[in-house]
């Protein structure tokens, strides 16, 4: 099981690393668009939509790695006052919510991506650029799958890799 956990965590780490490097082209596209608009009065049509694609992919791919590194924002007021088995139950409930949500996003995302690919969907922004977006929609189920796998790993680690001292209970 440790090998499966490592593979999933490496997948999350890699997706997070890819997403972190996407800030470079995103910044360059925004910079180019701003310079062209500000100094030359001619903003490229593609600038707006390319930034949506880059930012969207970046955000989607970071979800699992953020969960892996515990980098998400949480309201831990309750967790700081709860110890032992009640804390374990609360954390289990939270992880189950993430598992269910990411699984539903995976299922619905696959449906939408298949339909978008089938009709070769194009952008709804009606610019002269008018790029195809079917490929972009595939990042939703891909990132949902990685998030779902990572959330299963987090639940596994919560129940099987935490010691008695962490929760004051013997599971």
Report pLDDT digits (tens) over 133-146: 999 999 999 999 99
Q: Which one, of 162, 9, 5, lies nearest residue 91 by Cα?
A: 162
Q: Which of 29, 54, 28, 33 is nearest to 44 (CA)?
A: 33
Residue 168, pLDDT score? 47
Q: Tell me how many degrees the CA angle 129-132-137 measures, rounded to the nearest 5.
A: 130
pTM: 0.87
pLDDT tens for 45-69 read 899 899 999 999 999 999 999 999 9
Low-confidence ranges of the chain (pLDDT < 70): 75, 162-171
Q: Which residues, 6 or more positions from 76, have their beta carbon under 8 angstroms from its beta carbon?
A: none
Phi, psi of 138 (to 5 degrees): -70, -20
Q: How far is CA 78 from CA 26, 82, 90, 91, 113, in A?
A: 38, 6, 9, 11, 39
Tell me what pLDDT residue 143 has. 97
SS in 3 state form for 64-128?
HHHHHCCCCCCCCHHHHHCCCHHHHHHHHHHHHHHHHHHHHHHHHHHHHHHHHHHCCCECCCCCC
């Amino acid at each position: 099981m440790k090998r499966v956990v490592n593979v999933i965590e490496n997948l999350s780490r890699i997706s997070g690393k890819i997403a972190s490097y996407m800030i470079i082209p995103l910044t360059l596209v925004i910079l180019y668009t701003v310079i062209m608009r500000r100094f030359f009065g001619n903003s490229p049509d593609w600038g707006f939509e390319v930034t949506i694609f880059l930012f969207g992919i970046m955000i989607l791919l970071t979800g699992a790695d953020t969960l892996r590194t515990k980098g998400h924002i949480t309201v831990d007021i309750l967790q700081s006052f709860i110890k032992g088995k009640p804390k374990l139950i609360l954390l289990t409930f939270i992880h189950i919510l993430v598992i269910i949500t990411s699984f539903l996003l995976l299922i619905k995302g696959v449906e939408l991506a298949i339909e978008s690919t089938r009709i070769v969907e194009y952008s709804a922004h009606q610019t002269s650029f008018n790029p195809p977006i079917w490929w972009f929609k595939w990042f939703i189920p891909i990132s949902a799958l990685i998030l779902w796998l990572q959330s299963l790993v987090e639940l596994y680690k919560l129940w099987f890799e935490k010691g008695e001292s962490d929760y004051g209970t013997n599971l």
